[in-house]
Structure 1
Amino acid sequence: MMRTTGRRLRLLSTLGRTAGWGVSWLALLAAVPAMAQQASAPAEDPASTAAVVATDEFVELDPITVVATRTAESWIDTLAGVTVRRSEQLDMLMPARTADLFQGMPGTTAIQNANTSQTQINIRGLQDFGRVAVIVDGARQNFNQLGHAGAGGFFVEPGLIADVDVVRGPVSNIYGSGAIGGVVTMRTKDAADIIAPGQTWGVEATGEAAGNGFMGYTSVLGATQVGENVDLFVGATYRKADDYSDGNGDVVQDSGYETWTGIAKATFRPADFHEVKLTALNYETQFSTQTDADSATVYSTTAANRTVTASWNYSNPDDNLFDWRSSVYWNQVDQDQVKSTGSSNPITGAVGDPRSFVIDTVGFDANNTSRFGSGDWANAITYGGDYFQDEIDNTDDYGFGEGYNPSGDRGVGGAFVQWKANYSTWLEAIAALRYDAYSLNSDDGGGTSGERLSPKFTLGVTPWSWLTLYGTYAEGYRAPTVTEALVSGPHPLPFDTPGTMFYFLPNPSLQAETGKNKEIGINIKKDNLFFDGDKLRAKLNYYQNDVENYIELVEFGSSTGTICPIPGRPTTCFPFDWGVPGYAQYQNVQEARLKGFEFEGTYDARKWFVGLSGQVSEGEISAGVDAGQPLSTIQPDQVTTTLGFRFMEEKLTVAVRWTAVAAVTASDLPVNSVYEPTDSFNLVSVYAGYQPNPNTLWRLSVENLLDEQYTQYENFLPSAGLTVKGALTLRFGGGQTAGLSDPAYVK
């Protein structure tokens, strides 16, 4: 039985306490009669890559994305649960932590505990070990470190991010191996984001400060054009934050951090329609972290995320045979830790003992789209392949961090073909087939491999120009990681109590997970609804993802005995005698079922705008001995509403955002869950942005305006109380492109 009724009632109770924010629902409901009157209007072409809204004052394009099908299309036309964030939206979030980039996204939760710069992404209840593929500038982010706060994460400076695209579910199986939960792609800023149209060089400088434990941020980005076919971009950022206070006014220890980033890009256009781009990114951070709220062990941590990518793209609108995209990349995450607090023991070592976790990922991605017409059918065939190799080198000579995170290598690759067709203006069909294969090995011996074909089918119907209905069946395949298959070693319980422990057992016969997702959705796109130039955009979808061979940590065995010898300590034995199972192993449970409803919508009348997003989700083990047990990674139901106004010829924007999050109680969690229940909470934030001219942007925000005391689910430290942020961005540039005027640069 799904344990979600209580969650829904608690969310409704939370919403009721702030009922005045229901204006978003009224905007959407009021739009329905007006849209119905337009049913006989001529249909718009669903195959067009962007919808244009035009008035006498502005022309605006819906954001373009390729994340779902590898073919460029407007995000609102995509037949999938897709959310995009562009620079204007990211500016309003004023992100200080990477998790801030994902605030209010339906079905998507970024988990970033207060004492780390590392971020994990949960999509539809799936996270850790690559279930969500995270890609930055074309490079996969595959870092894993097993711990109480999950396994898997990435490091990136939020101030450098220009675009964020998220597709939920395994519907993007052509995008890469393993993404049974979804795909997150991020693009860092580039020359085109800095140089104003018509100019040949530009500089952007940003300074930001925040209270509640002082936070300071600065960045300087510069770009220039060398001739007509070369763009150069370089930049640096620095951010430092002190420990903040929670809603109760208590200082949250070790919530401070320090980061700095260097980035360089070179773009070449050696021939018409060809583009070659080289990118180098170096991110470094320092922070202090512990494994959970009750742990007396603290590690002083430094981490570096280094990425080098090279891409070659060819796109000629007159060439129907070739539309080529390709990239090769290298990514390394090197996290070094030194124990700074805690008692000496054979598990974590002594104060001053070091350990390190390093992963090197090299890979490539290449695909091409060929287009042809046949009667009223417009066809696009996309085909390609990708591969990445993880080399893991973890070292702990004083404890058992390497036992929990074994060294080894993993190779994962695949090839795919996709047919995407549009019939007239009312029908779209997508069919795809992907082949995946993997192999992994440990330095201590043992390994596993596997392969599979995964299909995808989507059908979309546009009966009226403003409404599209679609249904999808898609499968995805995720290979186990080296850690899941080969983790081995003792673990104390409670932490740092000698002689009391359980033991991780390896499972080299672990099988890959297979996600089978069924989804139905509605896209709503209407312009000039009530006023000239207004627009309504909304996406709603319901999904059910059945994950076969779902991998979960299972506890079993005797509760008393002796573990001897311990790997790496041939003369050391540990007795244990406690009332819980004595062994833990990652195993394939028969099946997990995750399902839910997601929605997001905006109505923009230029003078004012309103947005609404959220999700209701549930998940359980649906077969096997643990059938009926809830999944611990299901995120609480939540709703986010935004109401904003534009003044002074749209130079001043003021907005209020409210998020209501339901509670997670003990009944929502499985037995022996590593996560603690959390209370429901309301977050209210306000934002003001003033752009007096195209090159100056002032921003001010007040986050957690009500000074709410809350802890995000899966975090063990409370979040920040009331926080005030201020920022100033200045741009300047010069030169003039030959034959071009110098239009005003509007971000």
Structure 2
Amino acid sequence: MLSPLYRGTTALVCMSLALPAAAQDYPGFLGTLILTGGKRDLSFGTALSRTVIDEEEIEDRQASTVAQLIDSAPGVTLVNGTTPQGSGINIRGFGANTTYGSDQKIAVLVDGAAVGSEELYRIGTQLFTDPMLYKQAEVLRGTIGSFAYGAGIVGGVVKLQTKDAGDFTGGEPGFGGAQTFEFSSNGGGKVSSTTLAWQPTQGAEFLLNYTLRDQGDLTAGDGKTIGNSAFRTPSGLAKAKFTFGQDDAHELTFSYSQTIADDKDVPYDQFATTGGSFGNVDRLTDTRQAVLDYRYNPASDLVDLRMNLSHADQKIEYAYVPGSSPLEGTPTFPFLVGTVNADQRYQTSKLTLSNRALFGSDMIGHDLLAGVEFIRKERKDNGAAGAPGGTDRRLALFLIDEITMGAVTVTPALRYETSKVESATTFGTFKNDALMGGLALAYDFGNGLSVFGSAAYTEGLPIIDDLGAGAVAIDKMRKTEKSHTFELGAEYTGADVFASGDSLTLRGNAYATQMWDITSYTVAGSTSTNLERVETRGFELEASYGHATGLYVDVAGHIGSGEEFAPGASGIDWRNAAADRLQLTLGQKWSDRLDLSWEMVHSADRRDAFGADLPTATVHNLRATWRPELTSWLDRTEVRFGIENALDLDYVGHLSSPTRKAPGRTFKVSLTKAF
């Protein structure tokens, strides 16, 4: 089982500044620097392919969904539009696909709670939540940063962090909050977000947020209506945080968030724009996450203990709309009605215990993160809709040690995971386990330049969705999907590079991934023959430049390719491969009062959900943020203007259904008043 890992780490001949993803919850871990010249913060001093979208950028982008927000990261594709019910997240060619909103190759976490990971037919990621609830979205690309978050992660991890009361009170006792109103021309979109914060003492703070987002059907660049693009989603967040004990060594945080979508007479197939053969349904989606996080951080280098207990619960209730399917009255209709009327519910409980310890000598230093994780996933049986029920119990151990020896840093990472999947019906019980890990190496030249590389091996254990009758299903439940990823790159950061007072950060990395013993993907045209292997490769670039005058330039790009191999056949293009894409932002800031920017997004080598080639697309977006002078009555007010798809381009997004075009020109304006 370990031989691919050993081969990978032995073959790695590269040097890097390695940052374990698991450690990024800890401030100052590895001494990573966050530098920025424009909107996008870039991490310097890390072998991890990591993009952070902070609260200011979240607000500036005025995104309608979380998926729409994070597709600005290199290698990330937004699949099937900008609605929470239909959109999916694809990272480096893995994640959402043409059938399911998830393929288990990416993980999505909300304050540590695992969400949006079910393989539900013709539904997106199930990430029904609102961007207004969050102050940070973090995208970890690839496998090397995943060992503290799960097994079988090939594409990456999306981590969402909700807002805190201290963000509005300034960390001092008293009341605070904010009210935001937002309007968009395309679809008549309206948003109201209200946040109330109270800090009665230095060690206690409370936050409440209610956000209502209402959008009608959108219009494409050709002026035609995009069907099935309307939605109305009320969302709420409640959060409490307490710090106590000597030197505030104890920290206890509770958060609860909920989003409801109550849709009437909408297509059952959320990837499509019309009902098709499935017809329409009334659909109620109720998704909730509750998280209890405890941290004990005394004045000791050996103890930084954290416990994260989370529970995610989602219910989807359907009712078929009579007369909406053209198959009504045919012999196949009873089976179809059983499919679209089948309710779904799944719950995931997770407990993660971890500790960070610093120790060593003047010659060698260790920054060690060790943890254990208990996971229980329970899903209601819904065989009629292809979603078998059962329970999935898992135990995982992980260990990540950053070893520093002068300019050289070596970071080994290990994860062991065992699972027991038990069918709710007659499919049986299956046990599996796997040992996986990676190694990152780094060298810092001490002049702003570093080079890095990593090798990682992971295994995906069978899931509830793989349950079924017959030899094919039993084989899937007894096999783990395996993959390895190699990365190599360099980064540079410096000040006064071209002019006095400027700053420049550059980061480029190449990656190559191979996956085998595949159970997630079948050969095109087959429902039982799995692919033999999938190979992907690419290059990612991120850069940020800022001038003392306020001029800034941000760049994010990805170029890559992939092949899929059927048994005994040569490779063909990988059906879910990411497009070649370049995103360029040019902006000007006048202190913190006014920020004007132009963003160009150019995409090539694109295809739709059925593999048909799409033409190159270049989309232009304009944004402005204005904060009035402090002396005016508009103190602590922010006004934002945006024009998305400013040239009204008529196009279909990469990997999207050919009938679901991207929205045309959209004017957006938002007003936020803090108090």
- What's the TM-score bracket when you normalise by the shorter of the two chains? 0.7 to 0.9
User: Is residue 324 from structure 1 mapped to residue 305 from structure 2 by the alignment?
Assistant: yes
Give, in angstroms, the shift of residue 532 of structure 1.
4.3
Quote the Cα distance in structure 2 between the aligned partners of 1:522 and 1:361. Answer: 39
CA RMSD of superposed structures (Å): 2.7
User: Is residue 365 from structure 1 mapped to residue 357 from structure 2 by the alignment?
Assistant: no
Quote the Cα distance in structure 2 between the aligned partners of 1:386 and 1:533. Answer: 46
Equivalent residues of 2:36, 2:544 under 8 A apart: no
Quote the Cα distance in structure 1 between the aligned partners of 2:146 and 2:171. Answer: 37
Structure 1 match to 2:134: 161
SS in 1 for 2:170: coil
Which of residues 227, 234, 243 in structure 2 aligns to 1:269? 243
SS in 2 for 1:175: coil
SS in 2 for 1:90: helix
Alignment of 1:90-489 (within 5 A): 90-113=58-81, 116-127=84-95, 128-148=102-122, 152-178=125-151, 179-198=153-172, 200-271=174-245, 272-287=248-263, 288-291=266-269, 292=272, 295-296=276-277, 297-316=279-298, 318-340=299-321, 341-342=324-325, 343-344=327-328, 345-349=333-337, 354-395=341-382, 400-401=384-385, 404-424=386-406, 426-444=407-425, 445-486=427-468
Give, in angstroms, the shift of residue 350 of structure 1.
8.2
CA distance 1:356–1:156, change in 2 (3 Å): same
CA distance 1:148–1:555, change in 2 (3 Å): farther
Give, in angstroms, the shift of residue 509 of structure 1.
3.8
CA distance 1:481–1:679, change in 2 (3 Å): farther
Give, in angstroms, the shift of residue 212 of structure 1.
1.6
Quote the Cα distance in structure 2 between the aligned partners of 1:695 and 1:394. Answer: 51
User: Is residue 703 from structure 1 mapped to residue 644 from structure 2 by the alignment?
Assistant: yes
Give, in angstroms, the shift of residue 485 of structure 1.
3.7
CA distance 1:515–1:369, change in 2 (3 Å): same
Structure of higher CA gyration radius: 1
SS in 2 for 1:464: coil
Q: Which amino acid aligns with 2:255?
A: T
Give, in angstroms, the shift of residue 395 of structure 1.
4.1
Q: 1:451-480 CA distances to partner (integer Å, 9 max, x unpaired)?
A: 111121111111132111011011122223
Give, in angstroms, the shift of residue 423 of structure 1.
2.2
Quote the Cα distance in structure 2 between the aligned partners of 1:87 and 1:605. Answer: 22
Q: Which amino acid aligns with 2:212?
A: Y
Alignment of 1:598-637 (within 5 A): 598-606=540-548, 607-622=550-565, 624-637=567-580
User: Is residue 680 from structure 1 mapped to residue 616 from structure 2 by the alignment?
Assistant: yes
Equivalent residues of 1:592, 1:623 under 8 A apart: no
SS in 2 for 1:592: strand
CA distance 1:53–1:640, change in 2 (3 Å): closer
SS in 1 for 2:67: helix
Equivalent residues of 2:113, 2:312 under 8 A apart: yes
Structure 1 unaligned runs (5+)? Answer: 1-44, 55-59, 64-73, 489-503, 557-579, 667-672, 733-747
Structure 2 match to 1:715: 656
Equivalent residues of 2:533, 2:564 under 8 A apart: yes
Structure 1 match to 2:671: 728
Equivalent residues of 1:163, 1:188 under 8 A apart: yes
Equivalent residues of 1:119, 1:155 under 8 A apart: no
CA distance 1:299–1:309, change in 2 (3 Å): same
Quote the Cα distance in structure 1 between the aligned partners of 2:125 and 2:567. Answer: 26
Structure 2 match to 1:41: none
Q: Which amino acid aligns with 1:383?
A: A
CA distance 1:213–1:270, change in 2 (3 Å): same
Equivalent residues of 1:511, 1:588 under 8 A apart: no
SS in 2 for 1:480: coil
Give, in angstroms, the shift of residue 530 of structure 1.
3.2
CA distance 1:184–1:690, change in 2 (3 Å): same
Q: 1:421-476 CA distances to partner (integer Å, 9 max, x unpaired)?
A: 2223x221101221111221222223433111112111111113211101101112
Equivalent residues of 1:385, 1:416 under 8 A apart: yes
Equivalent residues of 2:40, 2:57 under 8 A apart: no
Q: 1:6-37 CA distances to partner (integer Å, 9 max, x unpaired)?
A: xxxxxxxxxxxxxxxxxxxxxxxxxxxxxxxx
Give, in angstroms, the shift of residue 338 of structure 1.
2.2
Q: Which amino acid aligns with 1:273?
A: A
- Count of aligned residue pairs for this structure pair: 617
Quote the Cα distance in structure 2 between the aligned partners of 1:377 and 1:437. Answer: 33
Q: Which amino acid aligns with 1:643?
A: L
Equivalent residues of 2:466, 2:473 under 8 A apart: no
CA distance 1:355–1:676, change in 2 (3 Å): farther
Quote the Cα distance in structure 1 between the aligned partners of 2:35 and 2:317. Answer: 49
Quote the Cα distance in structure 2 between the aligned partners of 1:207 and 1:185. Answer: 26
Structure 2 match to 1:525: 493
Quote the Cα distance in structure 2 between the aligned partners of 1:52 and 1:144. Answer: 36
Q: Which amino acid aligns with 1:609?
A: Y
Equivalent residues of 1:130, 1:142 under 8 A apart: no
Quote the Cα distance in structure 1 between the aligned partners of 2:460 and 2:207. Answer: 36
Quote the Cα distance in structure 2 between the aligned partners of 1:691 and 1:702. Answer: 19
CA distance 1:417–1:376, change in 2 (3 Å): same
Quote the Cα distance in structure 2 between the aligned partners of 1:522 and 1:428. Answer: 14
Q: Which amino acid aligns with 1:304?
A: D
Structure 1 match to 2:534: 592
Quote the Cα distance in structure 2 between the aligned partners of 1:237 and 1:373. Answer: 48
Equivalent residues of 1:177, 1:413 under 8 A apart: no
Q: 1:552-603 CA distances to partner (integer Å, 9 max, x unpaired)?
A: 44369xxxxxxxxxxxxxxxxxxxxxxx76xx23x65432211111111110
Quote the Cα distance in structure 2 between the aligned partners of 1:315 and 1:119. Answer: 40
SS in 1 for 2:649: coil
Quote the Cα distance in structure 1 between the aligned partners of 2:510 and 2:115. Answer: 29
Structure 2 match to 1:740: none
Give, in angstroms, the shift of residue 674 of structure 1.
4.6
Q: Which amino acid aligns with 1:289?
A: P
CA distance 1:382–1:327, change in 2 (3 Å): same
Quote the Cα distance in structure 2 between the aligned partners of 1:460 and 1:652. Answer: 39
SS in 1 for 2:522: strand
SS in 2 for 1:439: strand
Give, in angstroms, the shift of residue 286 of structure 1.
3.1
Give, in angstroms, the shift of residue 130 of structure 1.
2.1
Quote the Cα distance in structure 1 between the aligned partners of 2:460 and 2:391. Answer: 16
Structure 2 match to 1:561: none
Quote the Cα distance in structure 1 between the aligned partners of 2:338 and 2:436. Answer: 48
Give, in angstroms, the shift of residue 116 of structure 1.
4.8
Give, in angstroms, the shift of residue 191 of structure 1.
0.8
Quote the Cα distance in structure 2 between the aligned partners of 1:143 and 1:169. Answer: 17
SS in 1 for 2:571: coil
Equivalent residues of 1:406, 1:487 under 8 A apart: no
Quote the Cα distance in structure 1 between the aligned partners of 2:313 and 2:226. Answer: 31
Q: 1:373-400 CA distances to partner (integer Å, 9 max, x unpaired)?
A: 312322111111212211111447xxx3
Quote the Cα distance in structure 1 between the aligned partners of 2:469 and 2:615. Answer: 33
Quote the Cα distance in structure 2 between the aligned partners of 1:642 and 1:147. Answer: 37
Q: TM-score, normalised by structure 2?
A: 0.86
